[in-house]
Amino acid sequence: MIRILPCHAVTWNRIHTGTLGVFLDELGSFSESLRFFGYAANLCDSDRTTLELRQALAVPIIFSSRFEMDKFVEDLRSKLQILTEATAKKKMIEERVISPLGDADKPVEVPSDQATLALRPEAAAYLQYTITPPTMFIGYQGINILPIQRAINQLRSSLHPSLSSSFDRLDGSTNHNLRRIGFISTWFRVHSVGKLLLGVVQNLDRTKFHVSIYRCVHFLTDSDDITDAFKREADEYRELSESQDAAVKFLRQAQLDIAIFPELGMDEWTVLLSHHRVAPIQCVFWGHPITTGNPNIDYFISSEHFISGEFENALELPDVSDVQLKLSGYRRSFFSEKIVLFRGLSTLFTEPKPLTAASKGINRSRLFLPANRRLYVCPQTLMKFHPAFDEALTGILDQDDKATIVLLASDTQIVWMEQLRRRFRQRFGRNHWRVLFLPTLPFPEFQALLTQADVLLDPFPFGGGVTTLDALHLGIPVVTLPSAQSVVHLAAGFLRYMNASDCIANSLDEYVELAIGIAKDHADIRQRLLAHQSDIYQDVSTVDDWNTFLNTVTPRELDMK
């Protein structure tokens, strides 16, 4: 007689309910996704811990109102507190065995004890189908997320002892002639991170540094032109093992002096890897511009161009005089890392390809856009459309009867788009008809769309980065409100650098006024932006900043507040 174990009997259902949970979440069906994650957690004990944590930390992509958003954030804080207290009470750490680091050259042996396996978060079944952490979107809510990020890190470490491994800081103190620098990421490819840092890697001083690229290939394995460029420019290029034990051991054997994570927050596997210290100095760049709350990340690399006068203000009060926005600002005290402010922009952005003749020939009618309207284009991912930003959009629609707002949505964002449409109908009334959604466009058509815009709108509290640079490269003016940003003020920094500070608003009313004024008359600003086009691609001070920082930075004294 064949004996079927309970976990074997439910494997099909467990896998498929977990898969549905991932797909529904990324499509925008938040409540339905939680239900399927709950089903999967109940079907097999081996995944219960990771799935329950995934369910608890999930954040919706689109909120129907500010009230719903505020309530969700408060509920999340309560859930974290309850989970942390429950974990401590049950003494889960004492009931589990910490998995030792494996051999970098051998596959890690999987424990037969399913309870132990459940404590390996990188082995979670749902991570076969997604790269996105459930908490990626918490930074989009316009709040001080440091307490939440710290609580999440503490909870992860308590539930998953495998994330805790000892590192002797002296292990990294070697007698290398060159300082060993390691960049660790999934995104060394045609992606915002790859575009932001390829120029930096190319220009690091090889008389002082040995530069390694460590690419995480647990989910995305294909290469592209930017991947190939990183391979050429690095002194060493390695693809990390999918086993976190093996990856950690390998990175420690590399005896790095400094480890740099170009982003932390867009890839769950790399977030989990960052719980381990692999170098005496560990930094994060602003590829995902929020604090990690992780005590093993020492420095956050940014720029003095990306801050406002409130940066040193520790008080958690809205920066803007418009109290209805109620957004926390971007402040030093909201980061667990020590923020390093470069004199330059901190990026040597890979210059976009110039407009092709075909792109120049694409007019409004080819893009299904009205010919006799002023186009206010906001080509950001829909997750950045905070309810507070609706105040700016409704102001533009109310005050400019020729305004049409143009947004983009991909084929997988239909649910997000419909959720936004419902919110806009409630907020804008009849004006909601003047908000158009275009499908996501190939890059030549996207550039053509930018050239047809009368003005670009930078959303808040989480503004644009690479998309803004794409627009500025074409001389397209961007209006921004940095005082309402809760992350690095990228658009404002780029505009200051290009002598276009008159695109920067100081209040909600001024944002609306500037957007309408520039949409009506933008010839002068366009000429000025084109005249300073090369400034953001030939930033000598950024090269000096990186070389100086990497040559002089010392291990941080861990005075975690």
CATH of the domain at 427: 3.40.50.2000
Separate counts of helices (H) and strands (E) for the chain: 20, 12
Distance between CA 58 and CA 41 in Å, rounded?
Answer: 15
Question: 115 and 189 in one domain?
Answer: no
Quick: pLDDT tens for 521-534. Answer: 999 999 999 999 88
Question: 149 and 130 in one domain?
Answer: yes
Q: Which band of pLDDT confidence, cut at 50, 70 and 90, is reported for residue 114? A: very low
Predicted confidence (pLDDT) at residue 97 exceeds the cutoff of 70: no
Predicted confidence (pLDDT) at residue 174 exceeds the cutoff of 90: no
In a domain, residue 308? The reply is no
Question: 547 and 485 in one domain?
Answer: no
Q: Which band of pLDDT confidence, cut at 50, 70 and 90, is reported for residue 558? A: low
Quick: pLDDT tens for 202-217. Answer: 999 999 999 999 999 9
In a domain, residue 560? The reply is no
Question: 126 and 90 in one domain?
Answer: yes
Q: Tell me the longest C-alpha to C-alpha distance in the chain.
A: 83
Quick: pLDDT tens for 468-482. Answer: 999 999 999 999 999
- Tokens 């406002």, residue? 308
- Tokens 């998995």, residue? 99
In a domain, residue 498? The reply is yes
Question: 132 and 11 in one domain?
Answer: yes
In a domain, residue 561? The reply is no
8 SS3 class: helix
Beta carbons within 8 Å of 470's beta carbon, 6+ residues apart: 352, 446, 447, 450
In a domain, residue 392? The reply is yes
Whole-Å CA distances, 241 to 105, 146, 218, 231: 9, 31, 8, 17
**Counted domains in the chain:** 3
Q: What are phi and psi of 374, to 5 degrees?
A: -90, 125
Residue range of the domain that includes 474: 357-536
Question: 511 and 396 in one domain?
Answer: yes
Question: 492 and 548 in one domain?
Answer: no
In this predicted structure, what is the pLDDT of residue 354?
Answer: 85
Question: 393 and 285 in one domain?
Answer: no
Q: Identify the domain boundary among 163, 183, 207.
A: 163
In a domain, residue 313? The reply is no
Question: 520 and 378 in one domain?
Answer: yes
Q: Identify the domain boundary among 109, 129, 163.
A: 163
In a domain, residue 69? The reply is yes
Question: 213 and 69 in one domain?
Answer: no
Question: 381 and 492 in one domain?
Answer: yes
Sheet holding 281-285, edge to edge: 236-240, 209-216, 179-185, 258-261, 281-285, 299-303, 338-342
Length of the chain: 561
Nearest partner of 533 among 502, 500, 507, judged by Cα: 500
Nearest partner of 546 among 264, 163, 258, 194, judged by Cα: 258
Structure tokens at 260: 């740099």
Q: What is the mean pLDDT of residues 180-206?
A: 97
Q: DSSP string covering 345-397, please?
A: -S--PPPPPPPPHHHHT--TGGGT--TTSEEEE--S-GGG--TTHHHHHHHHH
Q: What percent of the chain has pLDDT over 90?
A: 68
Question: 436 and 393 in one domain?
Answer: yes
CATH classification at residue 174:
3.40.50.11380
- Which of 45-54, 149-158, 205-214 shows the lowest mean pLDDT across its residues? 45-54
In a domain, residue 323? The reply is no
